[in-house]
Structures are given as structure tokens and as C-alpha cells.
Amino acid sequence: MIGWREAWDDALYGPDGFYRRESPAAHFRTSVHASTVFAAAILAYVRRHDLHAVVDVGAGRGELLTALDAMAPGQLALLGVDVRPRPPELPERIGWRDHLPEQLEGLMFANELLDDVPCEIVERDRDGVLRTVLVDPATGAEQLGAPVRDPRTLEWVEAWWPLTEPGERAEVGVAREALWRDVVSRVEGGAAIAVDYGHRAADRPPYGSLRAYRDGVEADVVPDGSCDVTAHVAVDALATAVGGTLARQRDVLRDLGVDGSRPPLSLASSDPQAYVAALVTASEAAELTASGGLGDFWWVITPVR
């Protein structure tokens, strides 16, 4: 058996890992996949802050960038960063690479990236000792390993996810915060925004949030490369690590003009086609801002001036 972080990393990003083979859209639905309304909100943010470049970190098949290119053709420098090869259908003027740019004047954006960054999982045993959780990558069977000695892990757990009862466990955010600090450090002017599902100190899940998904449905959590393995983000710790602010997606999108209210019925009589189009847009906007759904996602926003 090996530690969860190692098993998880190999399952997603190893030579035959899930994200080397699979398109995220085939297995789960994100805000980017839900509607081009989301891309319109990103464009509104970029224009509000007079930014002229967008880097999508963990770009999937470039869906967000393709939508931005269609809405503002030739107006933005667009770059996708992902471990997957460049999608063949991606418009030629959109850049693509497997590593971050050295620096950026613009927006660094990541939607549902950090939940897929592998992290150590630790658990308090019956004697009160904090131990690393080990897993068999082939079966998902677990057992407790050696006591945790790494001071960064111990400090992080004490500060952000203290465990008091036997059996309680934490998904340690050290690796996620290090990655996002690196992203933010490359922004010389503009902003870095991470969007993800997550929790804060008051609502940490006592036994963790580790999940797996395959073909659009939840699957057994087995880090064998056959499914996406994910866990919620400790967003308050992340925001503190990068000097960011926290906001719910529904509040950010509404501020950017996303409106889920129905169009006036009078439009149905005067312009039926416009009414149907407005109704579709309102329905998509409502999904993006819904409580209990995508509207509950957290935005960690770090302006850089």
C-alpha cells in the first residue's frame, strides 16, 4: 500500500492516468460545460478590469477558450494549459501548452482544477496519533500508516483542519496551495481566479470528502486510473495562502450580469423567437447560480496590481 497522494497522482496524471486519456466533459458537468453564459461572465470580468489575455489552467478540451474566442474574436490572447494534447478542433489562434507561462498580464483562471490536485490524507487513530492513510491502488482498500512527521502537514492540520476524534480525517491542502501560489506568482498584473467546490473551517466534513466519478455517475473510490478521483477544497486556507477573497459563484455571476429571471411574457407575443432564446438563457443562468448546485461553488479571487 502507498500514501493517497502518490496513488491519486498516478491514477490521474501517470503515464496511463485518467486525465491523459479522458475528456472531463465525458464524465462530469461543470459550469463551463453547462452554458456559454459562464464564458460571457468571464468575458464581462475581463472587460470590466481592462484585461486582454486569459490563461485557462486545466483547460480540458478548451471549451471555455473556444467560447471566449467566439464572443470576442481576435480581441483576447487566449492560452490553454493542460496535460492533454491540443484538441484538434481548437481554433488556431488559441494557444495550447502543457506548462504555465512564465508571466502574464491578464487573467489566470481555473475551473474545478484544484479538487483534482492530489493531497495527502491523514487520520486520527484510537490513541490520538495522526497517521497517514495508505491505499491499495488496485482495490481502494485502506489502512493507517506511519505517524505524520512532516512539519508542514502537522502545522496545516492544526491551523485549518484540526482532528479531535478517532476516525476523523483531513485532506491536507499543502500541495494545492503550493500549486496555486505558483500560478498567482506568475501574474504581473490582472488577477488569478480559482473556482471550485469546497468548505471552510465551520463546515469541514469530519471524515473527508474523497469521491470518484465515471461516465457521469459516482463510482467507488479506487485510484486505478479508471475514474476521476476528487476531493473538496479547503477554500479558506487557499484564499489565505494567496491573499485572495472568497465569494459564492451565484454572487459573482449576478454581479457580472448573469440573470436567471424569466423574460417578460409580453415578449412571447411581440417576438416569440426572442422570447424562446431569452428563456433558454435564463434557464442556463439559473443553473449556474442555483443554491444547492453550481451557485454554491467558491471563487477565490486574487487581484494583482
**pLDDT score recorded for residue 160:** 98
Q: Tell me: the pLDDT tens digits for 175-231? A: 999 999 999 999 999 999 999 999 999 999 999 999 999 888 899 999 999 999 999
AA identity, residue 33: H
Contact 275, 263 (CB under 8 A): yes
Set of cell numbers at residue 37: 453564459
Per DSSP, the residues of 128-170 read S-EEEEEE-TTT--EEEEEEP--HHHHHHHHHH----STT-EE
Average pLDDT over residues 65-85: 95
Q: Select the more confidently predicted residue: 5 or 262.
A: 5
pLDDT confidence tier of residue 51, bands split at 50, 70 and 90: very high
Beta bridge mates, 302 = 192
Contact 58, 113 (CB under 8 A): yes
Q: Tell me: the pLDDT tens digits for 110-142? A: 999 999 999 999 999 999 999 999 999 999 999
Contact 233, 196 (CB under 8 A): yes
> If DSSP codes are grouped into helix, strand and coil, which group holds residue 138?
coil
Measured distance CA(163)–CA(142) in Å, rounded: 19
Q: Tell me: the pLDDT tens digits for 19-50? A: 888 766 655 567 786 678 899 999 999 999 99
Q: Tell me: the pLDDT tens digits for 247-299? A: 999 999 999 998 866 666 665 567 567 546 555 666 677 788 888 888 899 99
Q: Considering the entire predicted model, what is its pTM?
A: 0.92
**pLDDT score recorded for residue 31:** 74
Helices (H) and strands (E) in the chain, counts: 11, 17
**pLDDT score recorded for residue 263:** 60
User: How deeply is 80 buried, as exposed, middle or buried, from its count of CB atoms within 10 A (0-12, 13-18, 19+)?
Assistant: buried
